[in-house]
């Protein structure tokens, strides 16, 4: 019953009188939340994947990650995920591993940041934020280059990254 229905049923003139006599137990409150569908609407579930090989081999005891929280776009290996201070800023976190499928999105995001830098006049603070974003995306892409493909080789092994250097003589030309 609602407070007003209970008030009418008990014959009280004011809701304050009804509240004084009606004590709500934790079980009653939980049932009310359940009936209203509060938990179903407000609880988000994160799938936790357990690396059984790491647990069985003892690698987990040596500190290797064994618990992976599936965020949709990547995995978080932070043991205390629910207390993470980096929420929504996973790119800066060392516990985050992007999924291989997000590589194209990361490259596109990096390109968009470069385009923004070239076409939009930015304040020094905005410029620093764009530079910080580019650094974070570069680090993520670099980590993805070391994740093995289904054949066992890494993208870095398939397409070695060659560093290009300019000689001092080139500056004179």
Tens place of pLDDT per residue across the chain (173 aa): 788 888 888 888 888 888 877 777 777 777 877 777 766 666 656 677 777 787 788 888 887 778 878 877 778 888 777 777 766 667 777 788 777 777 777 778 888 888 888 888 888 988 888 888 888 888 887 877 777 766 777 777 766 655 556 665 555 55
Structure tokens given for 26: 């934790």
Cα torsion for 120, 129, 87, 67, to the nearest 10°?
Answer: 110
Q: What is the pTM of this model?
A: 0.43
pLDDT value of residue 77: 83
Q: Are 46 and 81 in contact (CB under 8 A)?
A: yes
Structure tokens given for 162: 């060659």
């Amino acid at each position: 019953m609602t407070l007003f229905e209970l008030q009418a049923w008990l014959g009280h003139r004011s809701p304050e009188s009804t509240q004084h006599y009606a004590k709500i137990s934790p079980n009653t409150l939980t049932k009310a939340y359940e009936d209203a569908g509060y938990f179903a609407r407000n609880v988000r579930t994160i799938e936790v994947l357990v690396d059984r090989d790491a647990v069985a081999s003892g690698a987990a005891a040596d500190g290797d990650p064994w618990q992976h929280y599936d965020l949709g776009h990547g995995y978080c290996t932070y043991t205390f995920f629910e207390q993470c201070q980096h929420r929504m800023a996973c790119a800066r976190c060392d516990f985050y591993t992007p999924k291989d499928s997000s590589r194209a999105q990361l490259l596109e995001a990096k390109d968009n940041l470069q385009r923004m830098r070239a076409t939009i006049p930015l304040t020094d603070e905005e410029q620093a934020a764009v530079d910080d974003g580019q650094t974070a995306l570069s680090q993520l892409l670099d980590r993805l280059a070391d994740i093995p493909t289904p054949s066992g080789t890494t993208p870095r092994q398939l397409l070695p990254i060659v560093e290009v250097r300019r000689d001092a003589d080139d500056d004179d030309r």
